Structure 1
Amino acid sequence: MPTFKLISAATCPFVQRSAITLEHKQVPYEIEFIDLDDKPQWFLDLSPLGKVPVLVVQEDERAIVLFESAVINEYLDEITPDSLLPADPLVRARHRAMIEFASAMVADSWRMGTASTREAAIEHAQALHGKLARVEAELVGPFFTGDKLSLVDTATIPVLLRTFWTVEIVPELAVFEGLPKVRAWHAAALELESVKRSAVPNLRELYRAYLGDRADSWVGSQLGSS
């Protein structure tokens, strides 16, 4: 088995996707955190897009750098037992599509949290609610396809967590309203050891501080009343 080093930023949902996969697959790895506001040159030399996650795979005499969470997760799935993707090619393709859909939800959630006005935050919350309603219709429960975790779950759980923390601050955003299976999905994710181990211990507080430190975030401005 190669050795693995995950380059991370503490609050990044895309990194958490890969950390959940590593933890669930029980793959030993080293993690190094960087400041995305002050990216070191060695990181920029590794990451063609200048983004996290980056997974450095050391295999015998060669070191290969992987980037993009979906690519990293699928590689990890391929080299370990008990695949988190379906065997059927068509269903597997659908799962890959839902992983991409989860990335769109990450964008909606981030825009909701960082919007400069109440109206814009509500608009992005409604867009996210609409996407989650589509997932609700397909979600088996407690996880995407039932009792077994999938790569759709590892891709979506980080956005569920951050969205829940945002709605904690401003309940009127109501992203989970009328979505009982999505709510249960979030609750089930919180109980997973792989999810607990995938994040720094104070992730919720760091995320809230990130929003609060943004002078242009309407949600962040509401922290004093939450």
Structure 2
Amino acid sequence: VQYAMEFLPPQNKVNAGDKLKGQTLATGKNVIVIGGGDTGSDCVGTSNRHGAKSVTQFELMPMPPEQENKPLVWPYWPTKLRTSSSHDEGCSREFAIATKEFLGAKGKLTGLKTVHIEFKDGKLVEVAGSEKVWPAELVLLAMGFTNPLSHLLQSFGVDADARGNAKAGVDEKTGYKTSVDKVWAAGDVRRGQSLVVWAIREGRQAARAIDLALMGATTLPR
């Protein structure tokens, strides 16, 4: 079981001519990619080029329509089924599926157990009788861009915005401060899934705001 961002960068180095030791290869393995986004797609393509025995991609959310309803979603990013060149290389895709357990023997991964899920009253619930065991010698974790933090925000009592992210200002005065005293939020938890450079920028700005709030002055850059 490996994170996508531990699996993908070494291949880029190999492609650039570097010689690496200990690179994880998908060669001859049943590979399952957990996560249906672009990073998961990259894992699918790389696994195929390694010569994987099989590649299966899991997506937690239901299968989107092949064509978006433009009047319904505009001006937001359209929700529709997207097939990348990596998918065209070969893989099976499973939607509305959740991993319940990793299976192994003698310290090695042999498979995983899943269950299908559906929305009921705005919540994801398991579909009774849908459990299944999948053979797998390599599982790549490429999920995490769908907001999973509502329970965390609720436990702190932090107000959320319309998208379910932590509500916090970014101006000089409020500086990433949430609705709860001495709780700040920055990066993906505040703005939603985005580029890592935004997380770095907001993290540095939040550090300055916290230093200013606690010490009354700061020399940290904004």
Same fold (TM over 0.5): no
- Structure with larger RCO (C-alpha < 8 A, sep 6+): 1
Q: Whose Rg is larger?
A: 2
Shorter-chain TM-score range: under 0.3
More strand by share: 2
What's the TM-score, normalizing by structure 1?
0.23
More helix by share: 1
What's the TM-score, normalizing by structure 2?
0.23
